Amino acid sequence: MFGLGGFSKVAHWLGKSFGFVSGAAQSGRPSLWWDGTAGGPLKFTTDTGVTGNVASSTTLSFDDLATGTNTGATMVVGTGASLAASGTGTIAATSVTGTVPVANGGTGRASTTAYAVQCGGTTATGGHQPIAALGALGQVLTSGGAGVLPTFQDASVAGGTAQFDVNVTPATTAGTATWEDLCVIALDAGKMASNGDKLKITASGVLAANANTKYVRMRIGFTDICSWNDAGSGYKWQFDTEVIRTGAATGIWKGFSFAANFVKNPETVAIGETWANALDIKIQAYTPTTAGDVTNNALSVEYYPAPT
């Protein structure tokens, strides 16, 4: 049972005058009491109504703490100790501060890049890493190999990088007696990086309904790869060509063009352009007599890498 000497020590330690009863706490005053359960713990109740067990060891179960809100003290988990949830118990996320390591289910990061793809760290438990850039519309996430973060790149096609551009805004000559740009598409610098890389270029339009002589050509950089002149009236015209890289600054053109009553037979023309440079692909026309003699309705450029 609880001896008087033991009671005196507890009362002196708590610094208050206590009543001691069996069965329930005394109302309105601090109490030491026992609920009568065989082997049950000695309990205390403060003058504010907080009740708990008087622990007999250094380990105190959370079950021995009354439910409530602490407004003046901080629980410190010291070195070597831990605070864990088990079963259906939880620790509120809002109660967690600092960076949670990967090994404990976190990311190892206090912040990241908005909208960026997250990747694993440099080790199995290293902090997560966002990729360097968000990429552009239509690009795909591409592996950089082992030990390198992936990056967004243009879509891969048959071992190379695709490029498809189309311009369908009609443009008509002004009749200025000079070569006029009707449509221009820029080829990315270094796009034709390997021998055998190929461009498929298609353009189409219409000639005015008159007997004037009209001049039309397709250029890549400063090289004419196909040209013709025709006095046809109201005819439709088209270029259908392929340009193939044969060297760092050389290539060939193959294809045909027509303007209703005129067909230019397929031929091969040498191209002397430096493929490492950005190059403009143009449809130009020369109409010295009347404005509107040549209209370009569409130009498309497709890139195909060399077979691997």
Domains of the chain, residue spans: 4-64, 161-304
CA dist., res. 119 & res. 107, Å (int): 10
Distance of alpha carbon 209 from its chain centroid, rounded? 52
Give residue 91's pLDDT. Answer: 65
The closest of 54, 50, 49, 42 to 14, measured between CA atoms, is 54
pLDDT tens profile 201-213:
999 999 999 999 9
pLDDT tens profile 225-250:
888 888 889 989 999 888 899 999 88
pLDDT tens profile 124-154:
999 999 888 888 877 888 888 888 999 988 7
Q: CA torsion, points 70, 74, 80, 86, in degrees to nearest 10?
A: 30
283 and 296 in contact (C-beta within 8 Å)?
yes
Mean pLDDT, residues 23-31: 63
Residue 64 reports pLDDT greater than 50: no
pTM: 0.49
CA dist., res. 113 & res. 87, Å (int): 35
The number of residues making up the chain comes to: 308
CA dist., res. 67 & res. 11, Å (int): 25
For the CA atoms of the chain, what is the radius of gyration?
42
pLDDT tens profile 176-191:
889 999 999 998 888 8
Residue reference for tokens 């219409």: 206
Q: Which fold has domain 161-304?
A: Jelly Rolls (2.60.120)
Instruction: Give 2-10 contacts, CB < 8 A, sequence gap 24+.
Output: 2/32, 2/34, 2/42, 7/32, 10/54
* 26, two tokens: 């005394």
